[in-house]
Structure formats: structure tokens, C-alpha cells
Amino acid sequence: MQLPDVKEKLAVIDFELVGNTPAEFAAFIRKETLRWAKLVKKAGGKVE
């Protein structure tokens, strides 16, 4: 992921590399899940 050509290709698709611990990643996923769940609910989305 740190190779220049890989970083360049990921940057083209607005992919941001983040290095963190498994615990930090788990916290990020929890936070994002809540964030997106609120947005989907507000928009009237439903799980099928």
C-alpha cells in the first residue's frame, strides 16, 4: 500500500490510506455505522 504507484492509483479514486491499530479501526467502524444508520433512517431507507 505504500508503494508510490499504488498510492498514486488509490489517490485517483480518492482513497485515503490510514494506518492505525485494530482497536482504532473498530472504533471507526462503530462510529461510521451509527452515522450512516442515522442518515439512511432519515432518508427513509429500509433493509430488504
**Residue pLDDT, tens place only, 10-46:** 989 998 878 889 999 999 999 999 999 999 999 999 8
> Residue 1: pLDDT above 80?
no
Q: How far apart are CA 18 and CA 2, in angstroms?
A: 11
Structure pTM? 0.58
Q: What is the pLDDT of residue 13?
A: 95
Hey, what long-range contacts does 32-38 have (CB within 8 A, 24 or more apart)?
none
All cell numbers assigned to 45: 431507507
Contacts of 2 (CB under 8 A, 6+ apart): 17
